[in-house]
C-alpha cells in the first residue's frame, strides 16, 4: 500500500501529476476516499466505496496485463474533484475518447493542446454557434464550463486505448448512477431541490433518465458524426439549459470558452 501521507492530494489530480502516475490505478484504490474525491463527493459516494476500489483495482489489472488505459490515473476521477455543491448542469457522455492523449476525465473535453479536436466536440461547437452565436474554438479545454458548475460526467470513466466501450459493465455504471442520484437529492437550506439541469446526449446517457426524478432534462441524439444530424443539431441545449436555470433562480452559464486555453 502506498503511503498516502507522502502524496500531495492537490497535485495528485492535476493533469499529468507525477504522483498519481507513479502510484497507478491500483495505488489509487488504496488511498483514503477523501484523497480520491472532493469532500462532498466522498461523503455521498461512501456507500459505493467498495465498488470504486474494485474498479480501480480492475484498471490496475488491465495495465498489468499489458493494456493501455485511458485517462491516466491523475485524471480518471477528475469529474469528482469538482465540488458537489457547485454543480448546476449535468452533461452525461458515454465513455472516454479511446484515442491516446485525448481523454482528460471530463466528458467530451480534451487537453487544450490537442489538435485536431475530436469530431463529436467539433459538432458540439457547431451547435453552440448555431444556438448562441458563439464561435467554435480550435481547442477542447472545457474547464471554463466545469468552473461554472457544469459536471461533464461520462457514464463509464475509463477505456482501453483504441477500444471504445471496452470498460462497460466493469463497475463504473453503479458509481456514476450513485453520483447522479446524489446530485438529484441535494436540497437548498429551505429544503427545496437544489437547482439542476440535465443534458443527455445519446442512448447511453438516456439510461440515467430514471435517476433524475423531477430534474429538467434536455435530451437529444449524440453529437457523434454518426448521429448528430438525427436530432443533436438544432436541439439548442445551451440556451435551453440557461432558460431552465433561470426558472430555478440560479442565473445562467456563460458557455463562451476562451479563444485559447
pLDDT tens digits, 86-132: 999 999 999 999 999 999 999 999 999 999 999 999 999 999 999 99
257 has a pLDDT exceeding 90: yes
Q: Tell me the pLDDT tens digit for each residue of 2-23.
A: 333 333 334 344 433 566 787 8
Q: 186: closest CA among 204, 213, 209, 205?
A: 213
Q: What percent of the chain clears pLDDT 70, i.e. is strictly above it?
A: 93
Q: What percent of the chain clears pLDDT 90, i.e. is strictly above it?
A: 91
Catalytic residue, candidates 10, 95, 131, 147: 95
The H-assigned helical ranges of the chain are 9-12, 18-28, 33-36, 39-44, 49-64, 119-132, 143-146, 172-184, 203-206, 237-247
Predicted pLDDT of residue 18: 60
Q: What is the residue-averaged pLDDT of the chain? A: 93
Predicted pLDDT of residue 110: 98
In the chain, the domains with their CATH numbers are 76-247 (3.40.470.10)
Predicted pLDDT of residue 12: 45
Longest dimension (CA), the chain: 52
For residues 70 and 158, is the Cβ–Cβ distance under 8 A? yes
Predicted pLDDT of residue 22: 77
Which has more pLDDT, 14 or 30? Answer: 30
- pLDDT band at 78, cuts 50/70/90? very high
The yes-or-no answer on residue 131 being catalytic is no
Average pLDDT over residues 132-160: 98
**Inter-CA distances, 241 with 1, 44, 120, 216, 238, Å:** 44, 25, 20, 9, 5
Q: Tell me the pLDDT tens digit for each residue of 164-185.
A: 999 999 999 999 999 999 999 9
Amino acid at each position: 500500500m502506498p503511503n498516502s501521507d507522502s502524496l500531495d492530494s492537490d497535485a495528485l489530480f492535476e493533469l499529468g501529476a507525477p504522483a498519481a502516475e507513479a502510484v497507478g490505478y491500483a495505488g489509487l484504490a488504496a488511498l483514503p476516499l477523501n484523497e480520491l474525491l472532493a469532500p462532498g463527493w466522498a461523503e455521498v459516494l461512501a456507500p459505493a466505496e467498495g465498488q470504486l476500489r474494485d474498479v480501480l483495482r480492475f484498471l490496475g489489472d488491465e495495465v498489468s496485463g499489458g493494456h493501455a488505459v485511458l485517462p491516466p490515473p491523475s485524471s480518471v476521477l477528475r469529474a469528482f474533484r469538482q465540488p458537489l455543491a457547485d454543480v448546476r448542469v449535468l452533461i452525461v457522455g458515454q465513455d472516454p475518447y479511446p484515442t491516446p492523449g485525448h481523454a482528460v476525465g471530463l466528458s467530451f473535453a480534451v487537453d487544450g493542446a490537442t489538435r485536431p479536436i475530436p469530431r463529436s466536440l467539433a459538432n458540439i461547437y457547431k451547435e453552440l454557434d448555431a444556438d448562441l452565436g458563439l464561435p467554435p474554438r480550435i481547442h477542447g479545454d472545457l474547464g471554463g464550463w466545469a468552473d461554472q458548475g457544469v459536471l461533464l460526467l461520462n457514464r463509464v470513466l475509463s477505456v482501453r486505448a483504441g477500444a471504445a466501450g471496452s470498460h462497460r459493465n466493469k463497475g463504473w455504471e453503479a458509481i456514476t448512477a450513485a453520483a447522479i442520484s446524489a446530485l438529484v437529492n441535494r436540497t437548498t437550506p429551505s429544503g427545496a431541490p437544489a437547482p439542476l439541469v440535465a443534458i443527455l446526449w445519446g442512448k447511453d446517457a438516456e439510461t440515467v433518465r430514471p435517476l433524475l426524478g423531477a430534474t429538467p432534462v434536455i435530451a437529444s441524439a449524440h453529437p457523434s458524426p454518426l448521429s448528430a444530424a438525427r436530432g443533436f443539431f438544432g436541439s439548442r441545449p445551451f440556451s435551453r439549459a440557461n432558460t431552465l436555470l433561470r426558472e430555478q433562480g440560479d442565473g445562467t452559464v456563460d458557455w463562451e470558452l476562451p479563444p485559447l486555453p
